[in-house]
Amino acid sequence: SQSGSVDMVIGFDNSASMKSRELGRSRHEIAVNAVRDFLNSKSLKPGDRITLVVFGRIAIWKMPFSEDLDDFQRKLGEISHPDVYQDESQLLTDLSGVLNYIPKCLDKDSFFQTVARRYDVSWPNNNQIAFIFSDGDDQEQSSLDDAIREFQKRNIRVYPVAIGSPGKSKFKV
């Protein structure tokens, strides 16, 4: 960002369809490598913070915003697929769900910021962006309108990163 530090949300699709290997490697491996390549590109500057939201049918905030890229990489490395799926949380994808969940994570960070300032603890007030790594195989197919309006209201840009081969994914960029 040319206008200061950035808080970056990485939304990572961990649904079963990310195991697909139509590109020689799994979509999951391709997405992990793309995130790691980005981190290794030195695009993040001092003061920038990153967080990880993993999603399938449900979204989970894996870590608060942090400048600790090693911790982020450890959390990214923990994302996996079981040999046998035991519930639907990883079987399906809900893109609307994750896009509605991310602002809630940002609200938690804002709450932390408010409490920190009350005790004279400095807390960054960074610009915010989100990258969503997904194959776009969205079984829920809920409307994205509310989520899009919320991101627009907050002036947060969302960058979808489509993983998969043409025609295999429903995600349209």
Average pLDDT over residues 36-40: 93
> What b/e string do you get for 91-112 counting C-beta neighbours within 10 Å, with b at 16 or more?
ebbbbbbbbbbbbebbeebeee
CA dist list (Å): 139 to 22, 48, 99, 143, 149: 19, 34, 15, 12, 22
- Roughly how many angstroms between the first and final C-alpha of the chain, as a whole number? 22
List of residues 6+ apart from 108 with CB closer than 8 A = 61, 64
pLDDT in tens, 123-152: 556 788 999 999 988 878 788 899 999 999
94 SS3 class? coil
Q: What was the pLDDT predicted at 173?
A: 37
Q: What is the mean pLDDT of residues 21-45?
A: 92
More confident residue, 112 or 137: 137
What distance lies between CA 77 and its chain's CA centroid?
14
pLDDT score of 171: 43
Question: What is the structure's pLDDT at 115?
Answer: 65
β partners of residue 63: 52
Which of 134, 138, 136, 129 lies closest to 159 in space, CA to CA? Answer: 129
Q: What is the pTM of this model?
A: 0.85
pLDDT at 166: 61
State residue 2's pLDDT score: 58
Cβ–Cβ < 8 Å for 122, 116: yes
Q: What is the mean pLDDT of the chain?
A: 85
Arithmetic mean of pLDDT, 111-127: 67
